[in-house]
Amino acid sequence: MALSATGLLLTLIPSILVVTGHLDLATHQSWMLGGTLLWFISAPFWMNKKTG
Amino acid sequence: MATTSSKLVQQLDAVNEYEREPIPPGKRKGLGSFIGMYAGEHTAGTEFVIGPLFVAHGVSAPDLVWGLLIGNLLAVLSWALICAPIAVRTRVTLYFQLEKICGSTLVKGYNLVNGVMFCFLAGSMIAVSATAVGIPFDIAMPGLGDLYPNSLGWVLTVLAVGAVVTLIAIRGYEQVSRFANLAAPWMPLVFIASALAVLPELGVHSWRDFWPQAEAEIWTGVVQEGQSKFTFWHVMFFAWFANMAMHIGLADMSVLRYARKWQYGFSSATGMYVGHFIAWLASGILYAVWLQKFGNAEFAPGKIAYYAAGLAGAACVVIAGWTTANPTIYRAGLAFQALNPRWKTWKVTLVTGLVTTLAACFPALVMKLLDFVALYGLLLMPMGAVIVMDLYVLPRLGMQDEYARRTQSRFNVAAAVTWLGTLLVCLLLNFTQGIEIFFLGLPGWFIAALLYVGISKWQQRNLRAPAV
């Protein structure tokens, strides 16, 4: 679950850094992709576990 | 291979969705299932279209924010106070409940219209996904004025996306729910992050900059060529009635009948305020940046999201399209299956998916989405009014509910005249009074309710001993 949460944070936080001028758009996109991959790889291990 | 195929067919035949019986207590679902489903379903591919269309229709920033806040509240109340209590009380699908009231012949006509509209809606979602899938192949995307397929590449991309969505949909509600649950927490974050990341390009560098720039650069109130002007009232009624078929039209009985409590209807707030508020605002911001950078020659949500969020943005458009297209195709399948209950759910869903995919090839489904969504809700709404009157009002006035079941009738004249009469009055209001389609749902519901009660009173004047 911690990995999945990290994935979600990596999806969102970089965009805030773009607004504040600490990150450029291309770097934000790379972090966002990393966060997305982390979420979709890790989340199935605990989501829907009860029904799965 | 033959063994594998027949095993698959056996598995698919075993998918039992309780089409003609109440949901048993053991199969009811907890609040979490509905929160995930609504959040996922209403943070969909079409949100990438609706937000930009508000920009194109020249909505001002205050009109948009207030219109969405109030309209979405009215939508949540419609789910929670109308649809969910009926779903939990009856525990059956909309189609089965209608059959008991309207009779099998009339319900077949209704199901056909319902299923076709669901196909078109799912088709628009598949088309939106295709605008992202086509990016690596540099496919020419349709523009705001395109109504017909504009390239072979576009058609092939839509066919590929439609095939995958259909394969997922035929596995039934469980599979759909799991898929939506997995993507639900991630999708809204992509919408929000994409919009935040492009704000500096609109001159927003701090929270204080946002509102002045929103009024000056995003929702400027300036209408794009070929579009009509939208006001607060357009936004409010659109937000309320965007899912009119689902809440007031009671199509979501098919889903909410699984709820343990009627209060789960309030879980629709996740879909409304995440999907129909945050996501519509976010996609409007993305489109404003796209317009400034590239103009309005192409209207491709996939490309717009890719510009702001890279591969994650493009993936979001694809997945957002899937998570809504799946339950919509599933609902369409239920509608068509009601025409002949002996048909297997998965076979009906397969054919439904094929029809949907063919419809998705036409960009008109995307470019005219606001009008189509309003029409779709309006067409199905009168039968929602019929069910509400039948359950709550007719017995209190000393009349029989479920007229068709009690009288063994296959065609309830009261319901048929109510449905067609309401649509006829709405059509007249549109043509003679110039009332736009977005505003017809509210008077239409009351017209339907009055018609059904009045005609039922006449119809049941000689009906005596109550049959059970």
Closest residue, chain B, to A17 (C-alpha): B197
Span B224-270, pLDDT tens digits: 988 899 999 999 999 999 999 999 999 899 889 999 999 999 999 99
User: Is A8 contained in some domain?
Assistant: yes
Closest residue, chain A, to B309 (C-alpha): A29
How much is the pLDDT for B24? 83
How much is the pLDDT for B362? 94
- Rounded distance between C-alpha atoms, residue A28 and residue B200, angstroms: 13
CA distance B173 to chain A (A): 13
Domain count, chain A: 1
How many Cβ contacts (< 8 angstroms) between chains A and B? 78
Span A1-52, pLDDT tens digits: 899 999 999 999 999 999 999 999 999 999 999 999 999 999 988 886 654 3
CA distance B313 to chain A (A): 8
Span B71-130, pLDDT tens digits: 999 999 999 999 999 999 999 988 889 999 999 899 889 888 988 998 998 999 999 999
Asked if the interface predicted TM-score (ipTM) of this complex is over 0.90, the answer is: yes
> A15 and B192: CB-CB below 8 Å?
yes
Q: How many CB atoms lie within 10 A of CB A49?
A: 8
Q: Looking at the complex, does the CB of residue B199 fall below 8 Å from at least one CB of chain A?
A: yes
With beta carbons less than 8 A apart as the criterion, state whether B165 and B126 touch. yes
- Rounded distance between C-alpha atoms, residue B186 and residue B343, angstroms: 37
- The amino acid that residue B78 corresponds to is S
B289-293: average pLDDT: 93
Q: Looking at the complex, does the CB of residue A11 fall below 8 Å from at least one CB of chain B?
A: yes
Token duo for residue B380: 């199905």
Token duo for residue A44: 């199935």
φ and ψ at residue B74, rounded to 5 degrees: -65, -35
How much is the pLDDT for B3? 40
> B204 and A19: CB-CB below 8 Å?
yes
Nearest beta carbon to residue B178 from set A36, A40, A48: A48
Looking up tokens 């039992």, which residue turns up?
B16
Q: Looking at the complex, does the CB of residue B339 fall below 8 Å from at least one CB of chain A?
A: no
- The amino acid that residue B150 corresponds to is N
- Rounded distance between C-alpha atoms, residue B196 and residue A15, angstroms: 6
- Rounded distance between C-alpha atoms, residue B251 and residue B254, angstroms: 6
| Residue-wise burial string across B287-316, b where 16 or more C-beta atoms lie within 10 A, e elsewhere | bbbbbeeeebebbbbbbbbbbbbbbbbbbb
> A52 and B311: CB-CB below 8 Å?
no
Q: How far apart are the first and last CA of chain A?
A: 16
Sign of the torsion angle spanned by Cα atoms B363, B367, B369, B372: negative
Sign of the torsion angle spanned by Cα atoms B92, B93, B97, B103: negative
Token duo for residue B443: 């008077």
Looking up tokens 């959040």, which residue turns up?
B39
Does B173 have pLDDT greater than 60?
A: no
Q: Looking at the complex, does the CB of residue A47 fall below 8 Å from at least one CB of chain B?
A: yes
How much is the pLDDT for B33? 80
Residue ranges making up the domain that contains A6: 2-45
Closest residue, chain A, to B201 (C-alpha): A19
Give this prediction's pTM.
0.89
How much is the pLDDT for B462? 77
How much is the pLDDT for B5? 43
∠ CA B104-B107-B111, rounded to 5°:
135
Q: Report how many helices (DSSP H) and strands (DSSP E) chain A contains, helices first.
A: 2, 0
- Rounded distance between C-alpha atoms, residue B414 and residue B386, angstroms: 9
User: Is A40 contained in some domain?
Assistant: yes
Nearest beta carbon to residue B309 from set A32, A44, A52: A32
Nearest C-alpha neighbor of B367 from the set B68, B119, B57: B57
> A8 and B185: CB-CB below 8 Å?
yes
Listed in sequence order, the residues at least 6 apart from B410 whose beta carbon sits closer than 8 Å to its beta carbon are B103, B104, B105, B106, B404
> B311 and A29: CB-CB below 8 Å?
yes
How much is the pLDDT for B17? 67
Nearest beta carbon to residue B192 from set A12, A18, A20: A12
Chain A CB contacts of B174 below 8 Å: 51
Span B382-410, pLDDT tens digits: 999 999 999 999 999 999 999 999 999 99
CA distance A4 to chain B (A): 10
Sign of the torsion angle spanned by Cα atoms B174, B175, B181, B184: negative
Burial of B425 (0-12, 13-18, 19+ CB in 10 A): middle
Task: Please give the domain boundaries of chain B with CATH numbers for all domains.
Answer: 26-377 (1.10.4160.10)
Chain A CB contacts of B204 below 8 Å: 19
Closest residue, chain B, to A45 (C-alpha): B182
Mean pLDDT across chain B: 89
User: Is A51 contained in some domain?
Assistant: no
Q: Looking at the complex, does the CB of residue A35 fall below 8 Å from at least one CB of chain B?
A: yes
User: Is A52 contained in some domain?
Assistant: no
φ and ψ at residue B196, rounded to 5 degrees: -60, -40
Does B466 have pLDDT greater than 70?
A: no
